[in-house]
Amino acid sequence: MAGIILRDLYKRYPNGFEAVHHQNLEVNDGEFVVLVGPSGCGKSTTLRLIAGLEEVTSGEIRIGERLVNELPPAERDIAMVFQNYALYPHMTVFENMAFALRMRKAPQEEVVKRVQEAARILSIEPLLERRPREMSGGQRQRVALGRAIVRNPAVFLFDEPLSNLDAKLRVQMRTEIARLHRSLGTTMIYVTHDQVEAMTLGDRIVVMNAGVIQQVDGPLQLYEAPANRFVAGFIGSPSMNFLPGRIEGEDFIGEGFTLHMGPGLPAGSAELGLRPEDLLSKGGEQQLPEVELEVVEQMGHESLVYFTLAGTQAVARLEPDLELRPGKRICLGVNSARCHLFAGDENGRRLTPTA
């Protein structure tokens, strides 16, 4: 097993595009780290640099104690699982899983033992004689995982491994990957653009935007104390609401309302961030201006209501209530401890002190 260190990692593609900007990251031995961010933010590039599938422009990659910049993928002691399973169609599941071991000239006895062990972990023992075309997408993805497991690598790298599966299967495979990590204890780096996958799998999550790491933290820390407006807007569904305004003294002044926030805030342009569940239909220390509901989604366990607040589209997550209908006017309350403030400039850094 091994940890991974990225030091000042930079990647410029031959066409001049800068995909990864001076990243610094330490992944601990045995940790499950998820790289998440919108399409094109450089997640796959970062993973492929670690795997050795792309050449580093500058900076360092260490796996365990070794500087691996110059090592070919096969010598990095990693196994990678991709979105398209990349199974050999003419081989059985057993042979697909055994392939890497056979290339290493492992004795037959060991090949059988390792393949059977991996098949047992993934519950695919009855499938060992099938060929890929005779299996469902979920089964194929399990075989792809099995192929990685038999190699017993120091590090697993996953590039959106579940995005070809339907929603239900994705949830099921997600829990299997989490279980796999618990039982193997191997370092894993997992790339996804799906924030639910990131939040549920990661010990720590690396949020990226435009090739730059925005924040590295545990799921709850990211949710409760996003480092900037980008992270605040990316993590959480429905997204955080943002209201423009300014800070004056201890107050946030938005369009048509003022909220008391407390001391220690820098004066000037700012945005107020409110999570949909922090807009309250009952209670709250302070009240927002009355709004008219435009769309109401009754989900059973909760109701999502959409409206225009201070000139901005906003959403609240409320207790289920049949009285909530489009056209109804309601007043929502907030507690200042649940308000997030961000600088009004393009960096949008967090202004609210972190507890």
Residues that bind ligand ATP (CB under 6 A): 13, 15, 17, 19, 37, 39-45, 193
CA 101 to CA 151: how far, in whole Å?
Answer: 7
CB atoms within 10 A of CB 123: 11
Count of CB atoms situated within 10 Å of the CB of 19: 21
Tell me the HSE value of 79 on the side-chain side, using a 13 A CA sphere. Answer: 21
To the nearest whole angstrom, how small is the minimum distance from the Cβ of residue 144 to ligand ATP? 18
Residue 15 has which token pair?
């066409």
Pick the closer one to ligand ATP by CB: 178 or 210. Answer: 210
Q: Residue 229 is inside which H or E element, if any?
A: helix 229-234
CB of 5 to ligand ATP, least distance (A): 20
Q: Which is nearer to ligand ATP, 8 or 294 (CB)?
A: 8
Is the Cβ of residue 23 or residue 141 nearer to ligand ATP in the bound state? Answer: 23
Closest contact distance (angstroms) between CB of 155 and ligand ATP is 18
d(CA 27, CA 19) in angstroms, rounded, equals 20
| Long-range contact set of residues 329-332: C-beta below 8 Å, sequence gap at least 24 | 329/290, 329/291, 329/292, 329/293, 330/281, 330/290, 330/291, 330/293, 330/305, 331/287, 331/288, 331/289, 331/290, 331/291, 332/279, 332/280, 332/281, 332/284, 332/287, 332/288, 332/291
Q: Select 17 or 88, whichever has its Cβ closest to ligand ATP.
A: 17
Nearer to ligand ATP, 41 or 68 (CB): 41
CB of 246 to ligand ATP, least distance (A): 34
Residue 45: both structure tokens together: 């590039």
User: What minimum distance in Å lies between the beta carbon of 35 and ligand ATP?
Assistant: 8
Of 56 and 280, which has the nearer Cβ to ligand ATP? 56
Question: Shortest Cβ distance from residue 61 to ligand ATP (Å)?
Answer: 15
Euclidean distance between CA atoms 50 and 17, whole angstroms: 19
User: Looking at beta carbons only, is 19 or 63 nearer to ligand ATP?
Assistant: 19
> 43 or 140: whose CB is closer to ligand ATP?
43
> Shortest Cβ distance from residue 160 to ligand ATP (Å)?
7
- Which positions ≥6 away from 8 have C-beta within 8 Å? 22, 23, 24, 58, 59, 60
Q: How far is the CB of 162 from ligand ATP (least distance, A)?
A: 13
CA 348, CA 325: separation in Å to the nearest integer? 35
| E strand spans, 160-240 | 187-192, 204-209, 212-217
